[in-house]
Amino acid sequence: MKQYFLFGFIGAFTFLSVFSVKETIKVGPTKVPEELQELRRKNQDPRRPPWPILHQKVVFMREGKVPHDDIGLLWEQTKYYYPHDWLIPMELSQIIKFTTGSYLQAYVPDPEQFRQEIIDHLEKVHRSEVPDPSGIKMNRDVQELIMMAVHDLKSVDMSVGMTLVPTHT
């Protein structure tokens, strides 16, 4: 019985390997949507900084280990290459929260516009207007943190004469 089974198995395998399809059916060029082409271009851009490096830079800025010289460039790179990201804008919101408009004016052209761009970005991410390409949904804790950061940023006064520490008279 074992011999017949083995013979049948080998015969079937031989039959399939000899009479298998030898040619591949070629399909014409596929039309890739423009947004996927743009995403591919961004992902293959040699100037694209890796996300962990951007995050590390902004954390070092927040902790005071490096100066805020590149804060504008860092924000532009985050907006362009990682539009779905929420963590780097959250770190930037902490930097804005604990600095003044006159201090940030040395690093970004318009601190008020910088603050508003981060608010708008966080609100878009919160409303899921910018979907994550990996398909991961944001949990409620992260949404709550984002809304707290937006609330804090909206209450920050970026006017040039504003001081962080109250002065005693």
Q: How far apart are CA 24 and CA 134, in angstroms?
A: 32
pLDDT, one tens digit per residue, over 107-151 is 998 989 999 999 999 999 988 887 777 777 888 998 999 999 999
Q: How far apart are CA 97 and CA 104, in angstroms?
A: 11
The count of other CB atoms within 10 Å of the CB of residue 95 is: 19
Length of the chain: 169
Indicate the fold that domain 48-158 takes in CATH: Methane Monooxygenase Hydroxylase; Chain G, domain 1 (1.20.58)
The torsion angles phi and psi of 150, rounded to 5 degrees, stand at -65, -45
pLDDT, one tens digit per residue, over 22-79 is 666 677 677 878 877 887 888 888 889 999 999 999 999 999 999 999 999 999 999 9
Helices assigned H by DSSP within the chain: 2-18, 34-44, 51-63, 71-81, 87-97, 101-104, 111-126, 140-154
* In the predicted structure, residue 21 carries a pLDDT above the cut 70: no
**Does pTM surpass 0.85?**
no
What's the confidence (pLDDT) of residue 132? Answer: 74
What's the confidence (pLDDT) of residue 37? Answer: 83
Question: What value does the CA radius of gyration of the chain take, rounded to a whole number of Å?
Answer: 27
Residue that the structure tokens 């963590």 belong to: 87
